[in-house]
Amino acid sequence: MPPSPMSSTTAAGQSAGPVPFKDIVVVGGGGARQLPAEEYRDIIATLPRKQSTPFTTVHEYDGAWILDDWLPGTMAFRRRFEARAAGDVVLASLPKCGTTWLKALAFATAARGRYDVPSSCEDGDRRHPLLRLNPHECVPFVEVVYNAGEEAKLDAAPSPRIISTHAPYSLLPASITQSSTCKIIYISRQPKDMLISFWHFINKRIKPNIIPFSDIWNSIYNDAYPESPIWEHILGYWNMSKMEPDRVLFLKYEDVLRDPIKNVEKIAEFIGQPFSDAEKEAGIIESIVKLCSLENLKASAMNSTSNYQRLMKEVPSESFFRKGVVGDWANYVTPDMAERMDKYLAEKLQGSGFSFTDCL
């Protein structure tokens, strides 16, 4: 019998883990609250605004440049979100740094008490949520949840909840930053590959227009990339991971690609659900890595019945899965452009102890 979605403990009294956000049903609708876009309209109207590409604009909100359609949800998250004393898991990242993959890995790991990890994904068995849903439907972007007026689902979710955000550390709600039980996992990525990935993604969304590549590339220099300045975003989490390693885990996309098994073990230990020897012997970690592989998630996203509803626009589920490699930037930019970018970032990150030099 499949586990009941809302039971949060196993017979042994241990946490059974999260359920897919999409599967949560709020009895009675949860009560209507004003949508953030309406509630914060007057405040937003006073914030500095600039064009980031011919088709997108960003607003400056307390030091970070946030995409217009993402901003109300960011504000609501900061003001309304209440972390639970039992502890929540927050996945944080800049856009296009491996969020979708991290969502899948963290969900499969945290929910393994509720959903057995299949050893094979080729038999058409759709019992595991990641074989029928996009990882974004399992772990929601909290900004999207607030924008869509779905916050009652956050309250209905069993603990531990897993949520994700693109917000910089400085904009996280106090209930998260001051909690001793909330766990934050950040994933960074070499910005040159991040930019290529973003360019492909955004052009899929705004078809038939095409954003000039130079607009996306220069968004780093112009602080126009979503959640910019990006080095402040990275260092905000990096510094906290050094100061409070039990509370903030800092991952690099390139490291996860190099050694996914080691990184899944790290995630499990960090969230307080280390793998037992029996699980290791049974190959559970390898099965999680396989379940969350690009090929497998891509196939599941195609199986997903609808496009993933992000903000008010529909985004094709499969658009979150492209190449998943390190160094694709070399196919798009000249060595001079790359060198200038490397130098610029090295200057910004100087003295922090963090660098991208091992990420190609």
In the complex, which residues of this chain contact ligand PAP (CB under 6 A)?
93, 95-101, 193, 197, 200, 292-294, 297, 320-324, 328
Distance CA 256, CA 325 (A): 11
Distance CA 232, CA 128 (A): 37
Distance CA 140, CA 172 (A): 16
Distance CA 28, CA 271 (A): 32
Q: Is the torsion defined by CA of 147, 304, 111, 168 positive or negative?
A: negative
Known catalytic residue at 166: yes
Pick 37 or 187: Cβ nearer ligand PAP: 187
Least Å distance between CB 227 and ligand PAP? 10
Distance CA 299, CA 293 (A): 10
Q: How many residues in the chain?
A: 360
User: Rg (Cα) of the chain, in Å, rounded?
Assistant: 20
Nearest to 159 by CA among 61, 211, 253, 83: 83
**59, 128, 136, 166: the active-site residue:** 166
Pick 41 or 313: Cβ nearer ligand PAP: 313
Least Å distance between CB 95 and ligand PAP? 4
8 A C-beta contact, residue 141 and residue 102: no
End-to-end Cα distance, the chain: 47
Distance CA 274, CA 210 (A): 45
Least Å distance between CB 293 and ligand PAP? 6
Which amino acid is it at 81? F
Residues 6+ apart with CB under 8 A from 350: none
Least Å distance between CB 176 and ligand PAP? 19
94 is written with which tokens? 């800049």
Least Å distance between CB 256 and ligand PAP? 8
Least Å distance between CB 216 and ligand PAP? 12
Give the residue numbers marked as catalytic: 166
